Every structure is written in structure tokens, then in C-alpha cells.
Amino acid sequence: MIDKVKKELEIRFPLLKLVREQHNYLHVKVGATSAMDAVLTAKTSLGFTTLQLISAVDWMENNAFQVTWILENYSEQEVLLISAYFPRKNCVVPSLSQIWPAASAFEREIYEMFGISFPGNPREGEDFLLEGWKDIPPMRRDFETEEYAMRTFGERQPREHIDPRQYIGDVVGEWNTPMGRNREEEK
């Protein structure tokens, strides 16, 4: 059955790329401008009436966000994934909250985690999980988790810490060499 869905989509979106196909699963990639058309076509003409999830991936090196809508045709037990790449800077993606009210929550979450804006979502910008978050969105790859943790939570007092490499060196007397090059010198 998924064959039929694939053919239909290929006729309507000639630039569509197949990512993965299984007996009841299809993942396709479309251009950013056809993304909404593809999702709505799937809902209205192909029977994918349930929105399961909206997800995002940060492809920093390609300067793009990948947004994926995961749709389900419950009666046929089929899953359709429609992905599109959007430019990373000031990323804007149309909202689906007027069509599926459930989309609103996913979009708010993505806004909070990646900073992707969904104009048309009436609740956009409301806190979802990260109450009072001031930093750049934490799921963006340019977010430095370690640096943030250090800045926010500080040094790990009074915890002790031993570096295995230095410790082994000290235990076996690695730096007690005849010429006595010392470790500080190496640094």
C-alpha cells in the first residue's frame, strides 16, 4: 500500500527524494517551499490524518535545520515521514496548529529547543519546559553544554578529581627519566 502513497507523492512533487522505505513506512524529503503542500496533501488526499510528532535536527555544518513531520494513517497502519531542510539563520517554518491542534505543543517545544519560529502558532513563545531560560536554545549544536554547566553550576567543590594519564605517569615514575624532563616543561 505504501507503494501507492509513494507514487502519488512522486507525481505531485517531482523533486521528492526517497530516504527510506519499508512495508508500512515511508520517509521522503521535499524542498522547503513544498513542505506544507506535501504535509497537507498527505492529510487530505492520502489518509494520513494523525500527526504523531514534529521533530528537528540541527545540521550546523550544512547551515540548515531539518524539520520532520511524522504522520500516521491509522486505518492502514502506515507511517509517513516528510522532511525538509530550512536555512538555519532566523529559521521560520509555517505552523500547522490550525490544522492539528496537537502541533502547537510540538512547535513550542522546537521553538524552545532550537529557536525555530512557527508563525501562526497562537501560543508561540510561551514557556514549554525551560522556564526562565536565558541562553541560546540548548539543542542547537553551537550551544556549549559544558561551558554552560560550568558557568551556571560552577566548579565541582568539594569533589576530588584525578586525571588517569597523569596518575599512571606518577605511579610508574614516568617522568623520573635520567634526563629529568619534567611534565610542566612539556606543557
Partner 1 sequence: MKFTDVISPFLAWSRAAKKADTIPYPTQQNPGADRYRGFHINDTSKCIGCGRCETICENKAIDMVKVEGIEPTKGDSGLRPVVDYGRCCWCGLCIDVCSTGSLAFTNEYRWVTEKPDTCRYTPGVDKKAWDNEEKGYRQENDVLGWAGSPREEMTIEVPEERIKTFDEVVKGYTVQQAMDEASRCIQCGLCISACPAHMHIPDYLKAIAEGRFVDAVKLFYDNNPLPEMCGKVCTRQCETVCAMGYQGESIAIRWLKRFACEQFESLADVLALDAQPGEPNGKKVAVVGAGPSGLSAAYYLSRKGYEVHVFDRYEKGGGVAWYAIPEYRLPAEGISKQMEVFEQAGVIMNYGKEINAAMLKKLESEFDAVYLAVGLQKPSSARIEGEDLPGVKPAFDFLVSSPEKGEGLKGKTVIVIGGGNVAMDTARTCVRLGAEVILSYRRRVEDMPADDEEIHEAMEEAIDFRVKTIPIRIEKTKNGIRYLYHEAKMIPNPKGGRPSPKPKDDVEHAIDADILFSAIGQTSDIEFIPESMQKEMELKWGRIIVDDKQYTGYKNFFAGGDITPGEGDAITAIADGLRAVQGIIDRLE
Which residues form the interface with partner 1 (CB under 8 A)? 145-146, 149-150, 153, 156, 159-169, 171-174, 176-179, 181, 186
Closest approach, Cβ 135 to partner 1, in A, equals 14
Give min distance, CB of 163 to partner 1, in A: 7
Q: What angle do CA 129, 131, 137 make, to 5 degrees?
A: 70
Q: Which is nearer to partner 1, 75 or 177 (CB)?
A: 177
* Shortest distance in whole angstroms from residue 153 CB to partner 1: 7
Side chain identity, residue 108: R
Residues 6+ apart with CB under 8 A from 56: 65, 66, 67, 68, 110, 113, 114, 116, 139
Give the shortest CB-116-to-partner 1 separation in angstroms: 22
Nearer to partner 1, 44 or 182 (CB): 182
Nearer to partner 1, 89 or 159 (CB): 159
CA separation for the pair 175, 162 (Å, rounded): 17
One-letter amino acid at 50 equals: T
| Cα separations in angstroms, 104 against 21, 53, 68, 94, 121 | 28, 11, 15, 11, 6
Signed CA dihedral, 50, 53, 58, 59: sign only? negative
Between 123 and 181, name the residue whose CB sits nearer to partner 1: 181
